[in-house]
Structure 1
């Protein structure tokens, strides 16, 4: 299904310049990593522009929130995305020598709406969230789409997605290794082509931006920037009122939060349960580990059969599972960018035990209540210590307030768009 909704409320203003915003997933509700960032950027841009949003909805649960976007958008066009059909479409990339990500997210109805919206509203500025959506405003070989070259196009890659595929390939063998390596190389080629065409390329941290910048020709390097993620410090405030969640254990527990159909999160909890959890149970047999997040995969759901493990699925309010835990873990083995789960736990001033990858870009090693280790034995010992005695005088929230509020992190965003007067 597709639908276009025009909002004729006070959000639309003749004083605001129109802007096309293309996003691979509806940026509301901000309840998972990519949507938290895409929503907060949308919110910031809506202060300056009349936003015309084009997006996919890949979870029927999210459709109820389309009307909520009236507060931030002049119009919204969305397409229902059925994952099985999208995967089949993705496989056509093998016929065209493209990364499967591109046909996975291509729909001619989105292309037609995008072109029509650009023309009808005389839009000169475009913001693209994720590399998969750049194809709708990208010039193709043979002169196709050259009209897009006159647009001011800013893309938020967020992470170097191609490098995730490289990391996946390292963990595989045989045909799977070949498949992931192919996607890594083709997606990297696409990312470079986008950077060459677009006005600015944004990434979620200075580290991520440097990784990408170092692989670009010198002429492109000044167009690559880091714009940090933030956290809603009013929502993730230990003094806020939380919903009552029936699945919160009434005994000391450890928690992990995240979208549980995302491979990096699945891989993280599998590693923790296989490598760390038995060591914890050996010393504390009544310990409980809560895996909190929507759409748990088959492998994650099966973990509930293990002693002391609770798999919650989607919850109304994630905060009680963080705030009431003895500690929060983020044992990521595959990662890019900044982990929102870590920022949220720190904003609630919880002690965290994390791997090196989970802390990239946050740089909070000096904060009390942050334990970083990649060794399973050390990881277990840290969790056991926090289970037996809650730490005192943590400074994790202070670190977040000093470095990671959205007001601070999105401050540079408007620097990457020219003002109306400069045209």
Structure 2
């Protein structure tokens, strides 16, 4: 594998003037035609097939070859080694929660939003996910999404129950699934799929939507450009209490939920072990295969105790690294965010790497021809809520996940006391990141 190494240095702003746009789309230079672009993606083999289709179309248009590397479980570790060894790819595609880390390590070059080719066609809300805590942009959004509920429609209808319209309805439906044998006599199932593992911060990642729906948050701005912890507020206790009741009192979550990752969770739902699953739209294609499209419905999150229906807003960002091929890298990203690239990435019927388009000229409902994707798009447009923009959200996510997992795991512990202690650690982490309130 051919690599390009470059010593650490400060990076100039990446701009795309009219002349650069010609180069980006025309790519007439001989040097560029011989370029091989190294692109890393956090993706599985199914997603890799979609990325390969994008690369084929891009190479045909530009003459630039694309060399992919993809991984899932150890992606961050491999990326850390590449950073430490100064052996970075040209483009890194990773989820939006990695933005602070990419800034802090100096991996991501600043992007000129106004000058990026086609940047005006990218949704403002999508650009929000690429905006750092200092107000500048360090990536280009290529895909967005929000969470929705996947529910065993066949089980719900068999029991004669309505679609849930509140947190209480979700809890009641989960209990009915767990106690009324909707899968048939002698076939016990569990109502709620809960990936409560602290691995990669899953506990925080999963519970965040519910915390916001209750009117809470992990941190809050103090009005002076800094932040304070917010996990000592009543909304946090209400949220943790809601999940601990499902885990400990009602016992409607799948066995081993406290240590379950998202991979474990989707396996529980697909195998028919559980009946309610809260996740991103990337699982639409896989649940169509098992347990089957006719058995599963997709609904928007109902409002929580605060009357909010917030849903975690996420997506993938494309970072240009300290690479010798910056112009080619920008060209690839410009293609990926173009209508053609977005539609290829959505890959109806297959595994989408562009879940919802960032390009506002692309209609998700028309591309997918699927009302479920229209539901996801509506949730994103109305209720997407991004994680806080602080220098290192990934560290904060892991810290809070460890604390929340610990409180949930001990069914007899004092929730308020546990959250108060966790909030102290949140404030210490904010101070470490130098964004804590005085």
TM-score tier after normalising by the smaller chain length: under 0.3
Q: Determine which structure has greater relative contact order: mean sequence separation of CA pairs < 8 Å that are 6+ residues apart, divided by chain length.
A: 2
**TM-score between the two structures when normalised by the length of structure 2:** 0.25
